Amino acid sequence: MHPTERVTLAFPLDRMTTFPLPAIQSQIEHRLATAVREGLTSRPKRLPPWLFYDEAGSRLFDEITERPEYYPTRTERGILAANAERIIALTAQPKGVRQFRNNPPRLRITELGAGSAGKTRLLLAAAVAHQGTVLYEPVDVSASALETARDRIEREIAGVAVSPRVMDYTHEFELAATSDRRLVLYIGSSIGNFDPWQAAELLSGVRSGLKSGDGLLLGVDLVKDEATLVAAYDDAAGVTADFNLNLLARLNRELGADFYLESFEHRAVWNAQESRIEMHLESRIAQRVWLTGLDLGGQDLAVDFTRGETIHTENSYKYQPGQPEEMLAAAGFTPVETWTDAQRWFAVCLARVA
Ligand code: AVI
């Protein structure tokens, strides 16, 4: 998500049995080590948010989405539940396209990220209701997340065939050519974890991988009062704190680091000027941490912290109404319709390629 290096990992999951997995694993390890070395030696210190999502972090993220303070997931789910049929109908047969009247193209659903299928299933079920069956293409850099998603969805939703793609869509977006119409889902407000220039690049990349008539469904979180925003990223049960601190535990596990977790504190702050929630890990004391597994030619890395110094671990941008449509138009999409909840906390925007 916060790319420091290009890693190309695009292939269908069904080739997993013949693909040299150790080579992929070593690319991932190299990417991890590079990101950590760069982030912890820069000022201010930072770590990219994609590091959150190891097995423990992915589990903690699922738990966050169940916390009462974390409104985005349930709000977006409510919007999709109310509008899934219309979203599918609009994408399957856009207005003004006459040439397909007798033989409309089939719709397939491509999702960026293989998250838990809770929200996706609403759209898949609507697509099955619309055309009988649907092909679902989850795209993710994690083969294991894709396998889990495939097993669960094929088991739970009749009429859905799953064709996963292992791909780092933050760097490239290249899918097999098809005469099917694609609806790409980028929901869950994941776009908010990118700086605006990165978000613009990502949307343009997706646009260039699509053809006329294809659609993009984008879920974005909207600006609201500060207390609500901060509570969503600092829940009373401390799950988000554990999620943030798990990053250090991961560096201990995978990079031979000796972070003492109790000496760091989770911080969530609203940066009104940048319109984003920032997550940090704040050092409670002056301390030195060693990383012994970075493969620096036999040398270990020492990282010094002053008391109160932070590692910036995540940005979560919040948008003003109308901004997502502007971003979509700037990336070459035509905004079609936007849905929101009664409180206007979250927006789901459908756009298409003209
Ligand atoms: C994945 N992403 C959209 C979440 C968010 O809200 O920015 C990640 C998250 N970080 C802390 N809580 C949730």
The verdict on the CB of residue 192 being under 6 Å from ligand 1 is: yes
- Nearest atom (ligand 1) to Cα of 268: 11
In this prediction, residue 4 carries a pLDDT of 31
Which residues does residue 86 pair with via DSSP β-bridges, in sequence order? none
192 CA to centre of ligand 1 in angstroms? 8
209 CA to centre of ligand 1 in angstroms? 26
Q: Positive or negative, the Cα torsion across 163, 166, 170, 175?
A: negative
Which of the listed residues 193, 202, 220 should we mutate to test ligand 1's pocket, taking the one with most ligand atoms within 8 A of CB? 193
In this prediction, residue 88 carries a pLDDT of 97
319 CA to centre of ligand 1 in angstroms? 14
The verdict on the CB of residue 64 being under 6 Å from ligand 1 is: yes
In this prediction, residue 321 carries a pLDDT of 97
Q: What is the rounded CA–CA span in Å between residue 208 and residue 218?
A: 16
The verdict on the CB of residue 194 being under 6 Å from ligand 1 is: no
The verdict on the CB of residue 187 being under 6 Å from ligand 1 is: no
Specify the residue with its C-alpha closest to ligand 1, atom 11.
Answer: 233
The verdict on the CB of residue 58 being under 6 Å from ligand 1 is: no
In this prediction, residue 64 carries a pLDDT of 97
In this prediction, residue 236 carries a pLDDT of 98
The verdict on the CB of residue 83 being under 6 Å from ligand 1 is: no
Specify the residue with its C-alpha closest to ligand 1, atom 6.
Answer: 316
Query: Beta strand 310-317 with 276-283: parallel, antiparallel or unpaired?
Result: antiparallel
Which of the listed residues 62, 170, 314 should we mutate to test ligand 1's pocket, taking the one with most ligand atoms within 8 A of CB? 314
DSSP E strands, the chain: 11-12, 45-46, 107-112, 134-140, 160-162, 165-166, 181-186, 215-221, 264-271, 276-283, 287-296, 299-305, 310-317, 334-340, 346-352
101 CA to centre of ligand 1 in angstroms? 41
How many residues make up the chain in this entry?
354
DSSP E strands, 181-298: 181-186, 215-221, 264-271, 276-283, 287-296
243 CA to centre of ligand 1 in angstroms? 10
The verdict on the CB of residue 241 being under 6 Å from ligand 1 is: no
- Average pLDDT of adjacent 10-residue blocks, the chain of 354 residues: 36 42 68 94 96 92 96 97 97 65 83 80 95 94 84 90 90 89 97 97 96 97 98 98 98 96 98 98 98 86 98 98 98 98 98 97
The verdict on the CB of residue 65 being under 6 Å from ligand 1 is: no
268 CA to centre of ligand 1 in angstroms? 11
Residue ranges of the alpha helices (H) in 223-275?
226-232, 239-255
CA distances from 260 to 241, 242, 265, 284 (A): 15, 14, 11, 11
316 CA to centre of ligand 1 in angstroms? 7
Classify residue 296 by its DSSP letter.
Answer: E
The pTM of the full predicted model, rounded to 2 decimals, is: 0.91
Which of the listed residues 47, 61, 222 should we mutate to test ligand 1's pocket, taking the one with most ligand atoms within 8 A of CB? 61
Q: What is the rounded CA–CA span in Å between residue 182 and residue 333?
A: 14
List phi, psi (to 5°) of 260. -95, 105
Whether residue 328 contacts residue 351, with contact meaning beta carbons closer than 8 Å, is answered with: yes
Question: 18: left (phi > 0), else alpha (psi -120 to 50), else beta?
Answer: alpha
* Sole residue written with tokens 């409670």: 284
Helix (H, G, I), strand (E, B) or coil at 11: strand
The verdict on the CB of residue 49 being under 6 Å from ligand 1 is: no
Specify the residue with its C-alpha closest to ligand 1, atom 3.
Answer: 190
48 CA to centre of ligand 1 in angstroms? 13
Count other C-beta atoms under 10 Å from residue 303's C-beta. 18
